[in-house]
Amino acid sequence: MPGNEGLCSLDISSLPELALLTYEKRLAEALRGFLTELCLTNAGVVMAYISSGQDGNIDDLIASSAELFLKPGQLCYARQAVIESDWGAPPHVSIALRFRQQAMTAAFHVVFDDSSIGVHIDAIEFAKPLGSESENLRRFEAALAAARLAGH
């Protein structure tokens, strides 16, 4: 079904849970270097940026964490970040991002706490009409590969 700007949206809610996990695993693998760089950032600084709505600084943080691993403009901050915390427990941080490549766009959240980091896909849109499950996954993987810098 056509989505925004003539893109064809993959209905995430209709995917079997294991199929969605496969997409999320592929995305996390493609973003491994970026995620590592993001984790090296001082958590207090990241939370201060989020708490005070410093979107420009968060945008810069995302861009600088991605610059060694992804082609320019492939990954951007989607202007939404949340900190959840309970008294006496480590905070849980979620940052909305958008991966844009000519063949595909994916909206997702990077979610992390004191001991783990992961990705949660919210939406996937392809530039061309949807194919079979395996074809869509192959196109997703190809778009991720096309966005990576050589050697990463």
Structural domain including 42 reads: 4-147
Residue 152 inside a domain? The answer is no
The DSSP string of 22-59 is HHHHHHHHHTHHHHHHHHHS-HHHHHHHHHTT-HHHHH
**pLDDT given for residue 48 in this prediction:** 95
Q: In this structure, is residue 105 part of a structural domain?
A: yes
Q: Which residues of the chain have pLDDT under 50?
A: 1-3
CA 17 to chain centre: 18
Q: Counting beta carbons within 10 angstroms of the beta carbon of residue 63, is it exposed (0 to 12), middle (13 to 18) or buried (19 or more)?
A: middle
Domain contains 56: yes
Answer whether residue 37 is part of any domain: yes
One-letter amino acid at 12 equals I
Q: Return the pLDDT at 4.
A: 56
pLDDT score at 1: 41
How many domains in the chain?
A: 1
pLDDT at 7: 81
pTM of the model: 0.91
